[in-house]
Every structure is written in C-alpha cells, then in structure tokens.
Amino acid sequence: MSNLYLQLKEILAPGRVQIGKVVAVADGAVTVELPGAGRVRSKGQAAEGASVFVLEGVIQGPAPDLPVYVDVI
C-alpha cells in the first residue's frame, strides 16, 4: 500500500514564492517585510536590507532590487 500523505502532497500545489526586503536578522531567523506591509519570519541567511525570495518560510535566494507594485483587485 502506498503512502497516502505523499500522494496528497503531490496533488496539492506548492506555496507561492514571495519577494521581500530583510528588516531584521537575529538568532538564525530572518524577518522579511513583504509588499503590502506583511512580515514573515523565515529560515536562511541574508543581510539586512537585502531583497530575497521566500517560499513557505524558507529563504530561496537573493532577489533583484527592482520596484514592486501591488495590484488590488
């Protein structure tokens, strides 16, 4: 019998990759401010003030420092 949890995990879509600026680094955790003033506490390494990509609470890497626009629908 196959693992039902793994089957469910394959069906569900992965989380969204978000972009934000690092506002604080402390105790191995990084606080990232997202467009629209939300904040996420993430795992990973980044310098304060850097732009980063975040996926499900983990920093994926550096992001380009470009202007970000938020569309409200």
Q: How many domains does the chain have?
A: 1
Please check whether residue 3 lies inside any domain of the structure: no
Please check whether residue 2 lies inside any domain of the structure: no
Mean pLDDT in consecutive groups of 10 residues from the start of the chain, 73 residues: 80 85 93 90 94 94 86 77
3-class secondary structure for the chain? CCCHHHHHHHHCCCCCEEEEEEEEEECCEEEEECCCCCEEEEECCCCCCCEEEEECCEEEEECCCCCCCCCCC
Q: What pLDDT is recorded for position 28?
A: 84
Domain containing 45 equals 15-62
Q: What pLDDT is recorded for position 55?
A: 92
Domain with 31 in it: what CATH number? 2.40.50.140
Please check whether residue 73 lies inside any domain of the structure: no
Please check whether residue 6 lies inside any domain of the structure: no
Please check whether residue 49 lies inside any domain of the structure: yes
